[in-house]
Amino acid sequence: MNLVLLSGGLDSTVALAMTVQSGGPTAALAVDYGQRHRKELMSAEWLADHYKVSLTILQAPHLRKISTTQGHGEGTVVPGRNLMLIGLATAHSLMLGGGRIILGVNHDDAAGYPDCRMEFLRAAKEAVRLGSDNKCRLVTPLKNLPKAEVYKMALRLEVPIEDTWSCYEGKELPCGSCGACQDMAKAVKSCS
């Protein structure tokens, strides 16, 4: 079973599209940790439906207690979030019988988040393997790609980009100024 960690953002959606295209049974997992940008969970639900995969949304409100806000009121940031998400995904994957856990981190994420860097991902892959008694394997198909390349891949895969949500703010429309919106704007500009 393939299990895609699906935030509702562009990267995880591209990872989902790649996984579905490669074939095999696939499910998606999202985590509700009380993030202010909760619209991403609505996007995850829509995208799972679009790709015809089942979606489980785990409730993890305790993560809200250890979250911070970034910059000028930007959205919820949970330190070490990927470490915790990978642990939750491993447990969920084992419940489904094990298999591949797909995490959609890209190369540019490493600059700001230590749990997106190569050394962390190598260690996480080994931890998943050992912690699951070789029943699960962490896969990071976008880890070497900058955001602009992920965007180009989304276009090639015909991902419904307009239905993804990457903004840290919890407003009706993307704010255009948070880090996630700026990264997306740069990616789009590089393709025009």
pLDDT digits (tens, 9 = 90+) for 151-171: 999 999 999 999 999 888 878
Average pLDDT, integer, range 26-47: 92
Instruction: Output the average pLDDT for the chain.
Output: 92
Instruction: State the DSSP code for 58.
Output: E
Please give the sequence-ordered ranges of beta strands (E in DSSP) within the chain, or none if there are none: 2-5, 26-32, 54-59, 68-69, 76-77, 99-102, 136-139
110 vs 113: CA distance, rounded Å:
5
> Which of 90, 70, 66 minimizes the C-alpha distance to 79?
66
55 vs 75: CA distance, rounded Å:
23
Please check whether residue 168 is in contact with residue 37, taking contact to mean a CB–CB distance below 8 angstroms.
yes
Q: pLDDT value at position 41?
A: 95
188 vs 186: CA distance, rounded Å:
5
Q: pLDDT value at position 110?
A: 92
Is 184's pLDDT higher than 80?
Answer: yes
Q: Would you state the CATH architecture of domain 2-190?
A: 3-Layer(aba) Sandwich (3.40)
**Which of the pair, 191 or 65, is modelled with greater confidence?**
191
Is 76's pLDDT higher than 60?
Answer: no
Instruction: State the DSSP code for 23.
Output: -
Q: pLDDT value at position 75?
A: 59
Is 129's pLDDT higher than 50?
Answer: yes
Is 70's pLDDT higher than 70?
Answer: no
Is 91's pLDDT higher than 50?
Answer: yes
Instruction: State the DSSP code for 118.
Output: H
- The two three-digit tokens of residue 44, written as one number: 């995850």
